[in-house]
Amino acid sequence: MQPTPNEETLSALSQPGGHPEMSKLIISTKMPDAMTPKAVEKAAAADPDAQPLTETDLKRMNRTAQVKTMRRALALTQEQFSIRYHIALSTLRDWEQGRGEPDKPAAAYLKAIARDPEHVNRTLSVHD
């Protein structure tokens, strides 16, 4: 019967046959010391893969359209969202693909949908 895994036996048990001499890996159960916020900032600044975005970076990036995020949160396809909220499918696609933006009345309507999608749906369904 194998002993209960501990620091010494854990690495040995992971090897074929469970032979301790086959592994030099030691797994420590000691938790690392927490980093101070200043140390976290310093480590992040030193990481070349985690540099802050520049204005140029932000300009070239494509943002996900808010309407697309809202539609996905409602688990609706473009067609379903278009029909449910009486928005032309081509307009919805343009908004989602960044080819256009909602004007102020459309933005207000989308805000109403975002706040209470079921109420807007019920209100529109009364007249159908």
Give the pLDDT band of residue 98 (cuts 50, 70, 90). confident
Q: Report phi then psi at 108, rounded to 5.
A: -65, -40
Domain boundaries of the chain, sorted by first residue = 1-29, 64-126
Lowest average pLDDT, out of 7-16, 96-105, 116-125, goes to 7-16
Dihedral sign computed on CA atoms, order 82, 86, 88, 94: negative
The CATH class of the 64-126 domain is mainly alpha
Question: Residues 6 or more apart from 103 whose CB is under 8 A from it?
Answer: none
For residues 95 and 101, the answer to whether their CB atoms sit within 8 Å is yes
Q: Which of 5-9, 61-65, 109-113 has the highest mean pLDDT?
A: 109-113
Percent of the chain exceeding pLDDT 90 equals 43
52 vs 18 pLDDT, higher one: 52
Report the C-alpha gap between 82 and 69 in whole angstroms.
Answer: 14
pLDDT attached to residue 108:
94
Q: State if pTM tops 0.85.
A: no
Which residue has tokens 């256009």?
A: 100
